[in-house]
Amino acid sequence: MVGRWLISFAIRALTGVLTRRNFDATLQRYIANILAVVLNVVLVIAILGYFGLETTSFAALLAGVGLAIGAAWSGLLGNFAAGAFLIIFRPYKVGDYVVAGGVEGTVVEIGLFNTTITAPDNVTTIVGNNKVSSEIIKNFSHNPYRRVERFAQLAFGVNPAEAIALLKADLATIPNVMAEPAPDVEILDFNERGTLLAVRPYCHTDHFWQVWFDTNRLIAEKFGAAGLPAPRTVHDVRQVE
């Protein structure tokens, strides 16, 4: 009874320290549970030793069982350790739009063993934390805005300066496009169909797909209204005599 009281006191003291240091509540609970299990095992061994029972073989057996469980659960333990680091260092949080463990979508839950992500097509994927922490993590919500990367292909003979002015005039009027930084429309490359323009508005990640589709619509509408010819591949055919 005294031993159990001391264990409860130690757990309450540890929880209080972690709370004052603003540790994550989930991490606090798991640390407290691990400490409770370890201290209760130590208490049982101490009681058996007090009553004169041989505890050396019991401790060795317990260590062997722990080793076997650890080997069998190596993957789970790896996910557990990775989850603890994810909660401590927080490369992302719930609600962030990320690419983690090869999965892209919005973070729904960060558990001690896995992370739950909902993809844009509303498919929920559960990824082991060990896989997440061992691969590159892209957090699209960390910065206040992101760039939408679109392209506009011009046909041969179309003046790129006129096309750029045509798009820049109304690109900033698309809903949720940021005024600062201002949208970019520049010559990106030249290919077999003509001049390729880079069209780059900026927006918050929550509005990314809306701005993406509206930018495509604006390019089609502006070029169509201006009567610009459709780009086509030009072949140079020569007759060899």
158-205 confidence digits (pLDDT tens): 999 999 999 988 999 999 999 999 999 999 999 989 999 999 999 999
Please report, for the chain, how many H helices and E strands are present, in that order: 7, 10
Residue that has been written with the tokens 């790129």 in this structure: 160
Residue 65 corresponds to which amino acid?
V
Give the neighbor-by-neighbor strand order of the sheet with 97-100. Answer: 124-128, 114-118, 103-110, 97-100, 138-139
The DSSP letter of residue 200 is E
Q: What is the pLDDT of residue 70?
A: 58
The DSSP letter of residue 75 is H
Q: What is the pLDDT of residue 30?
A: 67
Q: What are phi and psi of 188, to 5 degrees?
A: -95, -40
The DSSP letter of residue 135 is S
Q: What proportion of the chain, given as a percentage, has pLDDT over 90? A: 49
- From the CB of residue 157, how many other CB atoms can be counted at a distance below 10 Å? 9
Long-range contacts of 156-159 (CB under 8 A, 24+ apart): 156/193, 156/194, 156/231, 156/234, 157/194, 157/229, 158/194, 158/195, 158/228, 158/229
Rounded CA-CA distance 64/44 in Å is 17
Q: pLDDT-based confidence at 25, cuts 50/70/90?
A: low
